Amino acid sequence: MNEITCPMCSMNEVLKHSERLECVTCGHEWEPTSEPVFEGASERVVKDANGNVLSDGDSVTLLKDLKLKGSTQVIKGGTKVKSIRLVEGDHEISCKIEGSAIGLKACFVKKA
């Protein structure tokens, strides 16, 4: 699959205009080329709610209370999570909270 990514932020949400390409995420504009800038790049950028880039092993803090699906348990805002792991899919962060494996969306955390 030949997917175009932004040369500034590496996101793949790109608008194609008649003479240029524009990134929806960061607003960067560039001239289209015959080859994508990051062809074959497997590393994706995951950002927290404040726009900080997250990586494996980082610690994050929850911004608000989160209900666990299929349970009555609530994880309180302000809970610090250590040693996160970035994964593919809808929930970008895999971690353990109170001994339970949980998937989190990056928009609900900030880098600690």
**Helix locations, the chain, DSSP H:** none
What pLDDT score was predicted for residue 43? 65
What pLDDT score was predicted for residue 109? 95
Give the CA radius of gyration of the chain. Answer: 17
Number of structural domains in the chain: 2
**Domain residues for 25?**
1-44
> In whole angstroms, what is the distance from residue 28 CA to residue 75 CA?
37
55 and 70 fall within a common domain: yes
What digits encode the pLDDT tens for the residues 34-80?
444 444 445 678 999 999 999 999 999 999 999 988 888 899 999 99
Poorest-confidence range of 6-10, 20-24, 67-71, 95-99? 6-10
What digits encode the pLDDT tens for the residues 68-101?
888 888 999 999 999 999 998 888 999 999 888 9
Q: What is the CATH number of the domain that holds 78?
A: 2.30.30.40
Residue type, 68: L
